[in-house]
Amino acid sequence: MRTGSEFDDPPLPWSMSGKVAVITGGSRGLGLAMARGFAGAGAAVVIASRKLAACEEAASSIRADTGAEALPLAFHAGHWGEAEVLANRVYDHFGRADILVNNAGMSPLYPSLLEVSEDLFDKVLDVNLKGPFRLTAVMGPRMVAAGSGSIINITSMAAVKPRPEILPYAAAKAGLNALTVGFARAYGPNVRCNAIMAGTFLTDVSRSWDMEAFSRRAGAFALQRGGRPDEIVGAALYLASGAASYTTGTVIQVDGGQP
């Protein structure tokens, strides 16, 4: 005879209940959307970004909307020494980290390739490539010691379709794709590392764009539009969850079907 407990629904494989998710660049744009998504799925979230006030505002909003614990922490992805400080604060507070999303990024405009300064080039690579490398190198072994973990790198379609106006950024994101595969091999079998190669999303940054010109370009996409920030959340939840237990070293395109 079957007991009542046998009729209970099994936990959803993408449930984040009891998990701790660390999201860099989590105070706005795609990072904020993913933080909200993880919190809504039951995770405690760490909002780590350069401006503490913005992190605090985002954390307060997430707590109010979802009831999840949200910890705001200042963190500059381009500063090598801050990675260990962030990891220590996360582990001191929660005693664990189950998910790391390397989302912090930057792509400043420049007038021409000849006028790209060494300082600009270095800053772009520091934030988009060096930072994720160091934070993953610091937090990955702790996940390995705990026996599980999921690392998600947010890269860009620019990595494989570079445009002249974003070449340093494209090079950094191509490097992050490579790190994704390498870290998956370094930290397997119990810690997985994957990437989301994001297309063009309409975040706060897009407010300064020439939207008429963008609409013409987006007309060539299969979905014929830019993405909403919340449209990256499903891929992030999948990669972080048990539903992706056999997925590692993979780069998933979420780009609306760019040609």
* Cα–Cα distance measured from residue 203 to residue 198, given in angstroms and rounded to the nearest whole number: 12
- pLDDT of 211: 64
- pLDDT of 13: 66
State which H helix or E strand residue 32 sits in. helix 29-40
**Are 94 and 48 a contacting pair, CB within 8 Å?**
no
Give the mean model confidence (pLDDT) for residues 217-242: 90
Distance of alpha carbon 40 from its chain centroid, rounded? 16
Q: Is the pLDDT of residue 3 over 50?
A: no
Domain for residue 168, yes or no?
Answer: yes
Give the mean model confidence (pLDDT) for residues 132-157: 98
Domain for residue 10, yes or no?
Answer: no
DSSP 18: T
CA angle 234, 202, 209 (to 5 degrees): 160
pLDDT in tens, 168-207: 999 999 999 999 999 999 999 999 999 999 998 887 765 6
Q: What is the CATH number of the domain that holds 61?
A: 3.40.50.720
Q: Considering the chain, what is the average pLDDT of its residues?
A: 92
* Cα–Cα distance measured from residue 213 to residue 88, given in angstroms and rounded to the nearest whole number: 45
Domain for residue 91, yes or no?
Answer: yes
**pLDDT band at residue 5, thresholds of 50, 70 and 90?**
very low
**pLDDT band at residue 1, thresholds of 50, 70 and 90?**
very low
pLDDT in tens, 8-37: 554 566 789 999 999 999 999 999 999 999
- What domain range includes position 184? 17-254
Domain for residue 30, yes or no?
Answer: yes
Looking at 169, 187, 238, 246, which residue is catalytic?
169
Domain for residue 7, yes or no?
Answer: no
Domain for residue 3, yes or no?
Answer: no
pLDDT in tens, 62-83: 999 999 999 999 999 999 999 9
Number of domain units in the chain: 1
Domain for residue 73, yes or no?
Answer: yes
Domain for residue 189, yes or no?
Answer: yes
Active site residue 246: no
